[in-house]
Structure formats: structure tokens, C-alpha cells
Structure 1
């Protein structure tokens, strides 16, 4: 009986040890398959579409399964913040809006050995923080001039602020506005910064020494240009409620003759109105020349990834497939060779306009700072108050003090 009791106790101890061993091992791996990577993408975006299209090919090449986590734009930032603070490796790869890179820089694996020779202009600079390249570019967007080419002959396509305003006045009818002004949300900020570039801003919001520069004359001129255009009778009276989507709706419904809008709106306008009615051209120029602020996205490897080498292979793989973005809805990409080739195909004229805009010396990225979301809110207030009638210089002076308090 005593021997039998000892045998039972040994079995219990050994079984418990096996169970503890399994539990400890599961805790170390987090239950993650070593032959898989998880990729965070924006739901409904070209990133999600291309990730799904190429997942099986990547698995065939590497034996690694791609798990796609599609999240709405508004939830992506929060999701990344939560896992980074918890030091978890939920995602191996994440698609990132450029304005997030500085905030998450410490959690992103540098890709300093990447070949950047085919990056579109500005994309290496805007993807680099503290000397480290933080991702491969997926695509970049800038605003370009989109116009009714059945109403505007090629020789009259405006190239300067003055030509743009004059033509908008000429094109105005009882049924159609000449153009629009973006006065709402983040689109208003990007337009403000576009015009500041064109007016001679050297560094957006911060100068090369890190000082807040938004009281410089370039920003005064930019706001005054927006106010003059918004107050004219050739633009809708509700500029404070107008952004990219609203402007595009007016254009495709035949209610405005031209617009300065994100380049991806060109293919959509062609589809709505026909190639014979829609044209596009590079951004217009102010006193300092053509310029615009850029809107790139990057694909980054997360530093806490448990499968980092495979994650690096994946972002390289997706960069090799960058041309495939031109077959998707927005028709934008991140490589010079892709834009050069795409521009030769009818319907992709916007890529040539973007390339010329990116190559302009006054085209600049938004500042790589961790506090951009707070700064953007301040700038939204500047545009809205100025379009609403407040004194421009006072609005900029107040904003400068707020941004200095926020810091970088």
C-alpha cells in the first residue's frame, strides 16, 4: 500500500511538472507562431488590399504566413501606443502615417542599410529621425492642380497665385465656382503649409535651429492668400466646412472649375467626368516658387518583434511590389521608377504632376516631432480663426506661444 501511494505521488509531481513546463513555454512565446508575422494596416486602404493580394506569394517564397490586422485609421495610433507601452510584440510590421514616426521612433527597428536610391524626392528625409531610417515608403501624396480641361485650354493653366485667382474669377458663373478653399480640419493645415512653402517658409513650423517660425512673413502671406480667395465671390461661402472630400464632390458634380487637391482625387475625377474633361498640373507657385507639404506613409519593422528578420524581409518584399499600388484605388506609390513608368500611361497624369511638385525646392515635409497632433490642433485654430475674420498676425503670434509651450 505504501509503495502504491509513493507511485501515485510521483505521477502527480511529474504531471504537474509537465504542465508547469508547458505553461512557462507558452508564456515566453506568447502563443505566437514562429512561422508567421502580423502586419498592421489601415482598413479599407490600398495597404490592406495589397497585403491581402501578396500574402500567399510571400508565404510561398519564405514559408512564413502573413496575418493581416486591419484597423480603422483612428484606431491604429491607439493600438500601437498601447502595445508599445506594454512592451508587447503584437505586430511585427506596422504601416505608419509619417506624422507618427517621431512618436514611435524608439519602438521602430532602424533600416539604415536600405537602398534609398529609388525613393521619391523627400521620402528619405521625411522617413528619417535622429539619423535612422524608420521604414520603406509605401506611397506619398501631395496636392496638385486638378482642373476642367474642357473649360481651361492648356496655355491658360495657372502656374502662380495671381494667375490662379484671376482665372477663378473668369471661370465663375451662376452655376459654377472658380475654385475652393480648404478651411476645415487637417486638410486646412496642409493647405496653409502648402502656401507657406510657396511663400518662402524655410522649415515648416520650426526653422533649422528648432525655433518656432510661424510668425515669419511666409505664413502671413499664406494666410492672407487663403483669406483673399475664400472671401472672393468665385469660391463657396462655406470654406470653413470645406476640405478634400467636399471640394472633390463640388468638382465632380460640375460645381467648381478647378481645385488644389490631393493627387489621388485626379483618377477619381477622371472616372466621374471622363478623361476629356479633367486635367492636372503641378502645384501652383507663390513668390518663392512651387512648393507643397507631403503626406507619405511608411512600412516599419517593430523593434519588439519576435520574428524581426522575417519582418525585414517582408517590408523589403512589399517595397519590391510598390508598383502594384498603381493598380489600386488611389493610384499612388513611393518609388521614382514607378512614377516615371506610370506617368506614360493615360489616366496616370497625376504622377507626373506629383513628381514635378516633389522635385520643387520649396516642397517640404511636416516637422518630425512627437507633439505634431497637438501642434496641428493649434494650426487648425489659426486657419479657422483667420478665415473667420481674426487678425492674422495676432493669430500667428498666439499660436507661436502655444506651440513653444507644447514643445517638440
Structure 2
């Protein structure tokens, strides 16, 4: 009878046993087939370099490691690099990132590679967020984004000029009503014209009433859409059924409003076609503009003596209203978890952890996502912009941009040029938007 060589058989069974145990000990993500290893105690977080997302991730990484045992590895890249890297991750499913902080605009292109967050975004979480924040991170009915901060445009103005008695008397004599932060288009236009002045007597304006975003980039589009919303636009640019709305009345009225400020009233600098948010802020901070419509958090550097020559003289008011009321296009950011993450459970735990630290974004940027954080800080010195910003974010006409994959192409190829055509006088606002409508129809897929 043949005998077994146990010196050979036993090692073989030991190896087989180890393989079975190892396979059972690794949890598997059923959607992606990736394994959550107990040996790798790192969580890779993708953020924009120098952003509040980077600052908060860096500030909290030690505490997260202490709580969970996981080391947070931060990968910081430029703004466009966040999208490019995450888009590549969605395509490759390499498992390079466990969490990323992204712009609202990217959900249509990235959602297929993101993990739904229904267990994280609870009813309690939703109740502490501003209108549109949850829907902004939702695509095709799935919640993919945990909000980290939101923002919108407000009116930032020179309190010293508005509260000056001589200015108040002169304004009332000329326009027939009291000088105060503008609440609507008419008041804004009147005050912009009034404060455009030659203060040094050289025959040319050296102080402008306000500014217009006219640079060849997305700032000009966002600003124009703010006013389109105020004029009654609902479902911005493209309707829910795919119909192109951009050359209808609210959009034309909004573009006419901006061209009037620039070309007829001349209450904004002649170089407005080269100015975006950064340049208009510099103009305001240097004391050469009485007002600016700018992102709410711009109030903070406006009152910083190291940044602004008018520090201590600045106030903030809600966004102006058109016929349809207060409206703005918010700019929220979200944390997401790629489906390809090998640690989906710990990644979602990280999202919950950061949500509880939401006030750190307020300290870093001047805005946050949670209503409770806004309310807590709105009574503190240095955060006077939050009360009017909450009014803007809760405005009836405040709404997100459309959730379509073609949005960036539409903005670049149709909307930015159309705004430029109108502001430069090359086309009328109606002609500009008729042209844009045809370009958009060529970009959108057939119905």
C-alpha cells in the first residue's frame, strides 16, 4: 500500500488554509469587486491645493487617525487637476482615491463612478442644509455628494459712503428716495450712477459705482445668470425637457441690464471686459468702487487691513432682486466617495467626521454648508456677511445650474462668447443670445 509523505502534504494544507482564511477576512465591495484590506491603514483624499478643503483635511488628519487608526493621505492638485484625476479614476477604477472634494458642476460627468451616500445624508443632515444643497449633489435620483460649503453673490458696499450725510442728502434730492443698500435693479442702477464720480477734479471718473464681470471666463456667465434668475428664469439655460431657453425674455433682460450699466450709464470701469471676480475685488479693496456684487465671503478680505484700504468701512447686503425676487446661482462644493475605493466604509465614516467639523470651513473660507454653523457665526464680529448671505441662499429664485454633461461645453462655446458679444457692443443682447441658442442646440444630443 502506498504511504503519504506528510512532510510534503502538511505544508500544502497549511498554505491552502491560509489562502482560505485570507479570502474570508477581506470584505468585498459588491458594486466594484474591490477588497477592503485590513493591512492598509491609509485613506487617500483628493483636494484642490491651497483650498479650504486642503486646509480642513490637513487640520483634522491627526484627530481622524486617533479616532480610527487610519492615516489621511492628502493629494493636492490644481482645480482642473481634481476633475482630471477623478475622471481618470472613474474610467480606470484603480482605487487611487477614497474621498474627493469636488465642484457641483462635475456630478453629471462623474456620477457613474461615485458611491451613493443615502446612509450618510440622513434626514437630520438634510434639515441642516440650505435649499438646493442636497439636490445639487444628486444625479438621476441618487445622492452622491455630502456638502462641505456653499456660497452665493451678495452686495458688498462702502458703508462710509452710504452713511455720509452729504451723500444721503444729495442722493435723495436727485432720485427722490433714501440712500441705503440697494434692494432691486432700479436702486442698484441709481446708486451705481450716483457714486460714479470725479473725486480729484481731473475731469474723469476715478470712483465707480460698481463693477461688471466682463472677462472671457465663467465669472461673466455666472453673474449674468444671477440676474436672469432675478428676472424670472426657471431651470437655467436648458429646460428639464432639453429645450433651449437662453434667448427668452429673462435672459435678454438680464444681459440688457449689464450692458446698460457698462455702456449707457458708464457706472463701471471701461476695462470691465477684462475684469472678473478677482479684478473687481481689487478695485473695491483699493477704494475705487462704491459697490460690488461678489461672492459672499469676499466680505472677509474686504475688512482685512492687510488686504483692503477700505477695511472697517465695508458692509454686506442680500443680493438685489429683479421682478421675480432675489435670485443667485450658488457655488457649492461636496465630498464624494469613488466606487473604486477599497475602503468605502471608512471613507463614508470620514465624510461624517468632516461634516461634524463643518465650522472649520467657516473659519477658513468665511462660509460653510450647515445652516446651524451659519446661524452660530452670524452674530460674531467679522461674520456680518452671513445674515444677508442666508437671505440670498434662501431666495425664491436662487437655483443651481442645469445637471447636464454638456454644461462646460455650453458655457465655453456659447455663453461666454455671447456675454462678450453683448458687453462689447458687437451684437445686441437679443442677437447674442439668439446666436448662443443655435450653438447650444448643436451641442445638446438630439431629443
Is the pair's TM-score, using the shorter chain for normalization, greater than 0.5? yes
Alpha-carbon spacing, 1:359–1:31, altered in 2? closer, same or farther (3 Å): closer
Deviations along 1:68-88, whole A, 9 cap, x unmatched? 000111211111122221221
Contact map agreement 1:202 1:208 (CA 8 A) in 2: no
Q: Distance in 1 between matches of 2:151 and 2:80?
A: 19
Q: Distance in 2 between matches of 1:311 and 1:392?
A: 48
Q: Distance in 1 between matches of 2:234 and 2:145?
A: 25
User: What's 1:158 paired with?
Assistant: 182
Alpha-carbon spacing, 1:38–1:134, altered in 2? closer, same or farther (3 Å): same
State the Cα distance separating 1:30 from its structure 2 match. Answer: 11
Aligned with 1:178 (options 195, 200, 209): 209
State the Cα distance separating 1:208 from its structure 2 match. Answer: 3.4
Alignment of 1:234 onto 2:277 = no
Alpha-carbon spacing, 1:173–1:183, altered in 2? closer, same or farther (3 Å): same
Alignment of 1:355 onto 2:390 = yes
Q: Distance in 1 between matches of 2:38 and 2:442?
A: 43
Q: Distance in 1 between matches of 2:69 and 2:62?
A: 9
Alignment of 1:248 onto 2:268 = no
Greater Cα shift, 334-343 or 114-123: 114-123
Contact map agreement 1:40 1:94 (CA 8 A) in 2: yes
User: What's 1:315 paired with?
Assistant: 351
Q: Distance in 2 between matches of 1:257 and 1:155?
A: 13
Deviations along 1:296-332, whole A, 9 cap, x unmatched? 000001111000000000011101100111111x211
Q: Distance in 1 between matches of 2:100 and 2:136?
A: 17
Alignment of 1:134 onto 2:144 = yes
Greater Cα shift, 296-305 or 171-180: 171-180
Q: Distance in 1 between matches of 2:179 and 2:73?
A: 51
CA RMSD, aligned part only?
A: 2.1
Q: Distance in 2 between matches of 1:61 and 1:179?
A: 49
Greater Cα shift, 202-211 or 307-316: 202-211
Alignment of 1:368 onto 2:400 = no
Contact map agreement 1:183 1:387 (CA 8 A) in 2: yes
Aligned with 1:147 (options 157, 166, 172): 157
User: What's 2:116 paired with?
Assistant: 110
User: What's 1:346 paired with?
Assistant: 381
Aligned with 1:76 (options 72, 82, 98): 82
User: What's 2:228 paired with?
Assistant: 196
User: What's 1:34 paired with?
Assistant: 40
Alpha-carbon spacing, 1:223–1:45, altered in 2? closer, same or farther (3 Å): same
Unaligned 5+ residue runs, structure 2?
Answer: 1-7, 24-33, 164-177, 199-205
| SS of residue in 2 equivalent to 1:238 | helix
Deviations along 1:84-122, whole A, 9 cap, x unmatched? 212211101011100001110011111123121111222
Aligned with 2:368 (options 315, 328, 333): 333
Runs (4+) of structure 1 exceeding 6 A deviation are: 28-32
User: What's 1:125 paired with?
Assistant: 135
Q: Distance in 1 between matches of 2:144 and 2:415?
A: 26
Contact map agreement 1:200 1:287 (CA 8 A) in 2: yes
State the Cα distance separating 1:207 from its structure 2 match. Answer: 2.1
Deviations along 1:12-52, whole A, 9 cap, x unmatched? xx9xx9xxx9xxx9xx8799962211000000011101100
